[in-house]
Amino acid sequence: MTTIKSTAVKPDTTMLPARAATSPIAAALRQFARSPAGVAGAVVLILIILATLLGPHLYGVDPLDIAGAPLTPPDADAWLGTDYLGRDILSGLLQGGRATLAVGGVAALITIVIGVTMGSLAGFFGGPIDTALVKVTEFFQILPPLLFAMVLVTLFGQSLVVVTLAIGVVSWPSAARLTRAEFLRLRNLDFVKASRAAGGGNGHLILRVVLPNALPPIIVSATLAIGVAILFEGGLSFLGLGDPNTMSWGLMLGQNRNYVLDAWWTVTFPGAAIFIAVLAISLIGDGINDAINPRLRKRG
C-alpha cells in the first residue's frame, strides 16, 4: 500500500495581525501624511501654537506696557515696531495669538454642535420636524452673518466670551445643511435598517449608527469653521467691536486701522498672522478631506 500524504497548503497567517491592527484612523493619518499641503499646514499651525504658548515667556515683554515711542518702526529695541500707543507689536502677536486661536476653536465647536444637532434631527426624522428645522435654518441663513454678529455684540457687550458666542451662533446654518444632507442619504441604507430591526432606538441610531458614517464631511467643515471664526473675530475687531481688554490679532488690527498709511507695520504683521493661520487651517482641511474621502484620494 502506498500512503498518500496530504499536500493541503496551510493558510499564511503571518499578515493577519498587521491587517487586524490597521484602523480607519491609522489609514487616514497615513493618507494625510501623503498630502504635502496638509502636512505643511499642520507644521505651520503647530509652530504658531508653540509660538503663542512659549513666545510670551521667552520674549518677556508685556503686550499692554509702553515699550517705546508711538509708531516706532521695527528696530533693535522693538523687532516689529510699536503701535499707536507705543506697545510692542511682536509681544502683541505672541500674546494675542492665544485669544485669536481660542476664539476660532471654541466658536467652531459651537458652530458644529448647533449645526450637527439641527441637521441630524431634521435629516433623521424628516416630515414636520424636518420642515420646521429647515425653516429655522433658512431664517438664520438669510441673515447677514457679520451684521448679525455685530448686533449681538452691541447688545450683550464686547467681551471675548460674547464675541465667541456670537460667531458660533451666526455660523451654524451651513453645518446644519451639510449634516442634514448626509443623514438623508444614510438613514435608509441597509445597515441602518438592520440596526433598527435589531431593536436600536432613535438615539442609538442617530449617535452610534448614522452619525459616525456622516462624520467625514463634518470634520472637514469643522476644520474650515475655525478659519472662518478667526476671520470673523478680525472683522469685528477691525470695526471696533472686539474685546478692548484682551489682546488679540483682530484687536491689533482694529486699534491701528487709522494708521495704516503712516505706520504700515502696525496692521501688516497682525494681518499677516491672521492670513498665515487661516491658510494653514485651510490646507489642513484639504488634507483631511483627501485622507477621509476615498473618492478624492489620488494615491492608495
With 50 as the cut, is the pLDDT of residue 300 above it?
no
* pLDDT for position 2: 46
CA-closest candidate to residue 248, choices 229, 263, 262:
229
* pLDDT for position 1: 45
pLDDT band at 16 (very low <50, low <70, confident <90, very high): very low
Q: Is-contact 217 116, C-beta < 8 A?
A: no
Spatial neighbors of 111 by CB under 8 A, at least 6 apart, are 167, 168, 171, 172, 175, 222, 225, 229
Task: Report the C-alpha gap between 28 and 31 in whole angstroms.
Answer: 5
187-211 mean pLDDT: 91
15 vs 132 pLDDT, higher one: 132
CA-closest candidate to residue 248, choices 258, 236, 260:
236
Amino acid symbol at 208:
R
Task: Report the C-alpha gap between 174 and 172 in whole angstroms.
Answer: 6
* pLDDT for position 94: 94
With 70 as the cut, is the pLDDT of residue 106 above it?
yes
106-117 mean pLDDT: 96
H or E, element range at 44? helix 36-59
Fold of the domain spanning 99-275: MetI-like fold (1.10.3720)
Task: Report the C-alpha gap between 245 and 233 in whole angstroms.
Answer: 14
* pLDDT for position 295: 57
* pLDDT for position 22: 58
User: What's the number of CA atoms in the CB half-sphere (13 Å) around residue 40?
Assistant: 9
Q: Is-contact 61 91, C-beta < 8 A?
A: yes
With 80 as the cut, is the pLDDT of residue 214 above it?
yes
Segment among 27-36, 127-136, 160-169 with least mean pLDDT: 27-36
List the Cα angle 160/161/162 in 5-degree steps.
90
Tell me the per-residue pLDDT of 158-183, one tens digit each, with 9 for 90 and over: 899 999 999 999 999 999 999 999 99
For the chain, give every domain's residue range.
Answer: 99-275
CA-closest candidate to residue 92, choices 83, 104, 105:
83
Among residues of the chain, what percentage have pLDDT more than 90? 61
Mean pLDDT computed over every residue of the chain: 87
260-265 mean pLDDT: 90
Amino acid symbol at 66:
I
Tell me the per-residue pLDDT of 39-76, one tens digit each, with 9 for 90 and over: 999 999 999 999 999 999 999 888 888 988 999 999 88
Torsion of CA 111, 117, 123, 128, to 10 degrees: -110
> Is-above-0.75 flag for pTM?
yes
